[in-house]
Amino acid sequence: MRRREFISLLGGAATWPLATRAQQAGKLPTIGFLGAQTASAQREWTRAFVQRLHELGWMEGRTVAIEYRWAEGRLERSAELAAELVRLKADVIVTHSAEPVLAAKRETGVIPIVFPVAADPVGNGLVASLTRPGGNATGLSLQSTDLAGKRVEILREVLPGFHRLGIIANIDAPAAVLEMREVQAAASAVGLATTVFEIRRVNDIAPAIDALKDRVEALYIVSDPLLGTNRNRVAILAVGARLPTMQGFREQVEAGGLVSYGANFPDLFRRAGDYVDKILRGAKPADLPVEQPTKFDLVVNLITARVLGLTVPPTLLARADEVIE
């Protein structure tokens, strides 16, 4: 073989699909999956992701390996778990919410990162832009801050005439801070007074709800891994305090919250499977634009409404994607 041909062949190896290189090295291509909540709390999301991989030809344990790590709602564990996946030499890391994605980016600028859910990927520094992400991360933008005004309006439909809204947010979660500010602005625009209670850990949840129960008429729970992981606790405490809740995704209402409106998380995780497939076949994250949610759910829990003595307007029930009764 001529020297020029050899150099050309060697250079071309850098562009081989990750899956091909991994298999030639004697191991399956590896997906590092860093869940921000517990395995049980996001079971449906993970299942949707794995199912999509199966449809695309990636069979766990046969054509691809998946290494799972779970932060269990404790964002401070993100760096430690991301570092583990980097040491394992994962071919791609899948994680969600701003802090875990940022932690993964701090650990590696080489391994591709796919985020199924990120509230404001540009504002939080995950990507340079939605159309041209740059760097080693891409995925799906949740746009949760854009939905805050809609959620406030839905809550006003359920509680016509209410004036005092409580907001509970994990102040250590960057996306939660952005959404909290958007909720305050949306509430102020329609004449609602807001009281914010900032939390940082699970032990703050009960004192927050207890402190707000005599000061507000409803709660807006800003979604983040901490509150998502502890959604059963939130629901029980809110009902005990006689406070209707607005939340960001259906699993929180299935746990006993009153109403939620937001992107369908299983659908977002399913679509993340497409990103991973493309990357394992050789695509670069920098060239894959960040996409937006296309499926949104309005979910109402009539069992909780009855317990709270509320009558949900028929017009709202008619628009709901799911009514729990």
Per residue in 116-135, pLDDT (tens digit) is: 999 889 988 899 999 999 99
- How far is Cα 130 from Cα 28, in angstroms, rounded to an integer? 31
Residues of the chain with CATH 3.40.50.2300: 3-141+265-294, 144-263+297-324
pLDDT at 75: 87
Q: Between helices 174-189 and 98-107, what is the axis angle to 10°?
A: 150
Q: Phi and psi for 197 in degrees, rounded to 5?
A: -120, 115
Q: Could you give the C-alpha distances from 65 to 32, 82, 89, 172, 273, in angstroms and in order?
A: 9, 17, 12, 32, 14
Residue 262, classed as helix, strand or coil, is strand
User: 3-state secondary structure string, 177-229?
Assistant: HHHHHHHHHHHHHCCCEEEEEEECCHHHHHHHHHHHCCCCCEEEECCCHHHHH
- How far is Cα 67 from Cα 85, in angstroms, rounded to an integer? 8
CATH homologous superfamily for the domain 3-141+265-294:
Response regulator (3.40.50.2300)
Q: Could you give the C-alpha distances from 70 to 76, 77, 237, in angstroms and in order?
A: 12, 9, 25
Class of domain 144-263+297-324: alpha beta
Q: Which two three-digit tokens encode residue 5?
A: 């041909």
Burial of 283 (0-12, 13-18, 19+ CB in 10 A): middle
DSSP letter, residue 291: B
40, 41, 44, 46 alpha-carbon torsion, rounded to 10°: -80
DSSP letter, residue 64: B
Sort strands 113-118 and 164-170 into parallel, antiparallel or unpaired: unpaired
**How far does CA 138 lie from the centroid of its chain?**
14
DSSP letter, residue 25: T
Residues with pLDDT less than 50, the chain: 1-16, 20-25
User: Of 236, 194, 255, 252, which Cα lies nearest the Cα of 219?
Assistant: 194
Instruction: Give residue-wise pLDDT tens across range 153-168.
Output: 999 999 999 999 999 9
pLDDT at 262: 93
- How far is Cα 13 from Cα 9, in angstroms, rounded to an integer? 7
